[in-house]
Structure 1
Amino acid sequence: MQLSNLITDFLEYLELERNVSQLTIRNYDHYLKRFLEFSGDIGPKDIDLSLVRKYRLYLSRWTDPKTKRPLKRITQNYFMIALRAFLRYLARQDVKTLSPEKVELGETEARPLKVLDDTALKNLLEAPDTANKSGLRDKAILELLFSTGLRVSEAASLNCDSINLSRQEFSVIGKGSKERIVFLSDSASEWLGRYLDARKDTFKPLFIRFQGRIDPSNSGEAMRLTPRSIERIVEKYVKAVGLSVKATPHTLRHSFATDLLINGADIRSVQEMLGHSNIATTQIYTHVTNAHLKDVHKAFHSGNK
């Protein structure tokens, strides 16, 4: 069987057996098609170290036809990670090919984690004008993101009946269709309540647009804010308050995790609340909180008295 057919089988395996999100499948499709274009529709036994090395060189020298920019090293690694996952699948199917362990990733520089300090966070959360429905919605979005650490796609998918304001908690389906419980702060619960009280519709989505044509069909699904819309809302307020950090919804997720750790939460609990399947993913936040340890040492060590 040739590479093109095996790649199709792999993508179907991800969807049916691994229950991977459609976004992840599209990404794997994109990465593996690039390898297919490079290698040609060869057989799996023709994938060897020499071919992989040439492919890495090709990625390293590739430039975007429009921008003339090369691929970032971390992006090059995404292509190699997809190839390694594909080879791992082939090995499970007893298809003779290169061992996935032989596909190495290039070293990358650690990306600085964007986290808002207390002043920047306070300014951002207070930026929306809550005298109107759009401002109430935006305030509720910002408070929710910081209170729960939700991914932007998770926030966009919420429905009005998803939220339990009295218990100040609700379940969300995250990456890999994993369910987890997230919690609302008093502030987030208050502003979500105000926002919902101001809405006079019966639409199902929690966060809806207030501009454009009203479409009540399918319980108002067409009124739902998309993840990109929520990103634009955050971007608007980041610019309005003049933050030095180019903050996004994911920055609020980082700030959520960092806030918990600095204030004494254990890393396993933070892992659960973020929905990370691997503790190593959560440990990136320890690099940020380690800086806080210096302040703790200065304040409490007897040698500093």
Structure 2
Amino acid sequence: MAINYLSAVAQQYPFHLPSAQEYQDEQIIQMFLTACAKAPNTRRNYYRALEQFRQFLSGVSFREVSWREIEAYKIYLTKGFYRDAQKPLAPASVAAFIAPLKSFYKWGSDRGIGLFDHNPAQNIRIPAIAVTSRRHYLTRNEVGKLLETLRRQSLRNYLIGLSLVLLGLRVSELCGIKWKDFNADLLETSVWLTVAHAKRGKTREVKIPRELWNMYQEHARRLAGSPEPDPELVLFAITPRQIERIIKQAGTASGIQKQPTPHWLRHTNATLALLQGASLQQVQETLGHSHINTTQRYLHTVEQMKKAAPDFVQDCLMEFM
């Protein structure tokens, strides 16, 4: 005789499972964040976007939304109604508000979830975002000047700069590094960093160059005051905002004619890696890109640095020049 275990448990411990129609908007938001936003930054940004949309709806529930409400919301953002100064949001900012809505409704309308009977955001287009990262990198000499300035300041600041440009880390990932996140490979020939605070809650492994590893060990032992640092030791116990200031101020002090940010150093990492012969797949794995298309954006910069058509023409006509 088959036993209905669910009924047996329900009899012993009565509970009520609400139907999809009984969940409140706030409950649906929290379920979505739990399922789809593992990283703290992603969770915070998604919640902000969904809460802002809920305020725009003025009492209309998420279940009642059609594509019209979402399109009206896009107009609200792009025409300046969102700001007191009536200044339109940039396409990237609009996308940051709309993309979470598309993920939210796609998740909730999935047949396995069933919270929404349709996906009103399916045909909503995210504004095109101009790729500005093509010029947001430092040259080899500029990297050298920046690192030399950071080296003179302190080992910690120098390691911050090296970690960003050598490993291509996001600033939030850098802030989350603990001593226990480093591990040797099977043959103990190299050391790898487990990036446990990556975007969208993902985890990836990044190889640590030998010289950088030696400096990490020295930094950790100084912080711990011991040759054996505690596994929970945080290597850079400062905020992302503080790291941004450190890089910006070092850029000014080094005399380079740019205003670098930590993300510029991430762009620089990708560009230099490709120039030196790394494959797209290797760069994708190091940076933690979900899609190869994101990594391919750096190829444009790399191609610009290589020999262009005018160079070939000059070679042909050199005797006349």
TM (normalized to structure 1)? 0.81
Q: What SS is found at the alignment partner of 1:277?
A: coil
2:200 counterpart residue number: 176
Aligned mates of 1:197, 1:126 — CA distance in 2: 23
Question: Partner of 1:101: helix, strand, or coil?
Answer: coil
Cα separation, partners in 2 of 1:41 and 1:284, compared to 1, 3 Å: same
Given the alignment, which residue of 47, 67, 77 partners 2:95?
77
Q: Is the 8 A contact 2:280 2:296 kept in 1?
A: yes
Amino acid paired to 2:149: A
- The residue aligned with 2:233 is 205
1:167 aligns with 2:190: yes
Aligned length: 285
- Aligned-residue identity in percent: 25
**Are 1:232 and 2:245 counterparts?**
yes
- Whole-Å Cα distance in 2 between the matches of residues 255 and 127 of structure 1? 18
One-letter amino acid of the counterpart of residue 55, structure 1:
Y
The one-letter code matched in structure 2 to 1:108 is I
Counterparts of residues 148-297 of structure 1 (less than 5 Å): 148-163=167-182, 167-173=190-196, 174-196=198-220, 198-199=222-223, 201=225, 204-208=232-236, 224-294=237-307
Give the match for residue 145 of structure 2.
123
**Unmatched 5+ residue regions in structure 2?**
1-19
- Matched to 2:148, the amino acid is E
- Partners of 1:89 and 1:160 lie apart in 2 by 36
TM-score (norm 2): 0.77
Please identify, of 92-101 and 79-88, the stretch whose mean Cα deviation from structure 2 is larger.
Answer: 92-101
1:13 aligns with 2:32: yes
Q: Which residue of 1 aligns with 2:121?
A: 100
SS at match of 2:125: coil
- Kept in 1: contact 2:270–2:298 (CA 8 A): yes
Partner of 2:70 in structure 1?
52
Moved more, 280-289 or 174-183: 174-183
The CA RMSD over aligned residues, in Å, is 3.1
Q: Find the residue that maps to 1:171 and give its secondary structure.
A: strand
Unaligned runs of 5+ in 1: 209-223
Change beyond 3 A, Cα 1:63–1:263: same
Matched to 1:107, the amino acid is A
Report the CA distance between 1:49 and its aligned residue. 3.0
Matches within 5 A, 1:26-65: 26-44=44-62, 46-61=64-79, 62-65=81-84
Residues 1:179 and 1:57: Cα distance change in structure 2 (over 3 Å): closer
Q: Aligned partners of 1:287, 1:57: CA distance in 2, in Å?
A: 32
Q: Distance in 2 between matches of 1:119 and 1:37?
A: 49
Partner of 2:122, secondary structure, is helix
